[in-house]
Amino acid sequence: MIGIDSSPAMLAKASDELLDLRQADMRDFRLDEPAALIYCPFRALLHVPTWADRRRVFENVAASLKPGGRFAWNVFAFNHHVAVRVDGVRQEEPEPHTMRYAVGDNRIDIVRDDGVTSTLWWASKNEWLGLIDVAGLRLEALYGGFAREPYTPDSQEYVFITRKENA
């Protein structure tokens, strides 16, 4: 298995003899040999800021899959009720932080008490479906959670599984 991250610090934390760890930006993702499965866990695609950058990721993933191969990822489904409840409110867990929503930019800034900021950019279900389409992939399943809960309009999570068509 191959693990990719753009952060040397994260790669050092992930050091594992079972993984071939590589420093790379997922927008420039390439494999030497096509894979049967590529997955992007932990909502990592939310760190890609623009639709054009996400398109590059999806096109590179599709080019790196074997025919019939799958691409899977999870992201949260934006919920305006949650945003209103937590925007600007200091939270203690997992570390002291405050979340700031910029709804017009589809952006959340997570600001730790020490000033370190992590930014996420969400997308709608239709935007994700559009990326699947332009990359030439086919939606195989969409779940509302990791236990294969059915996706409903009230789901808080998207778990997408796509497939590259056979050549």
Do 73 and 129 belong together in one domain?
A: yes
Do 69 and 85 belong together in one domain?
A: no
- Which residue, chain included where needed, has tokens 């809960």? 149
CATH number for 68: 3.40.50.150
User: In percent, how much of the chain has pLDDT > 70?
Assistant: 95
- Which residue, chain included where needed, has tokens 């693990």? 3
User: Residue 97: inside a domain, yes or no?
Assistant: yes
The predicted structure's pLDDT at residue 167: 65
Determine which of 9-18, 24-33, 79-88, 138-147 has the lowest per-residue pLDDT on average.
9-18
Q: Which two three-digit tokens encode residue 38?
A: 């590529």
Residue pLDDT, tens place only, 90-102: 999 999 999 999 9
Q: How many domains does the chain have?
A: 2
Do 46 and 107 belong together in one domain?
A: no
Determine which of 15-24, 31-40, 41-50 has the lowest per-residue pLDDT on average.
15-24
The predicted structure's pLDDT at residue 18: 62
User: Residue 22: inside a domain, yes or no?
Assistant: no
User: Residue 105: inside a domain, yes or no?
Assistant: yes
User: Residue 24: inside a domain, yes or no?
Assistant: no
Do 109 and 139 belong together in one domain?
A: no
User: Residue 53: inside a domain, yes or no?
Assistant: yes
Residue pLDDT, tens place only, 14-23: 766 667 887 7
User: Residue 153: inside a domain, yes or no?
Assistant: yes
**Mind spelling out the 3-state secondary structure of 89-109?**
CEECCCCCEEEEEEHHHCEEE
User: Residue 16: inside a domain, yes or no?
Assistant: no
The predicted structure's pLDDT at residue 29: 84
Residue pLDDT, tens place only, 72-85: 999 999 999 999 99
The predicted structure's pLDDT at residue 7: 75
pTM listed for this prediction: 0.90
Average pLDDT over residues 108-134: 97
Do 74 and 131 belong together in one domain?
A: yes
Pairing of strands 97-102, 90-91: antiparallel
User: Residue 108: inside a domain, yes or no?
Assistant: yes
User: How far apart are the C-alpha atoms of 105 and 95, rounded to whole Å?
Assistant: 25
Segments forming the whole domain that contains residue 158: 38-78+122-167
Do 130 and 61 belong together in one domain?
A: yes
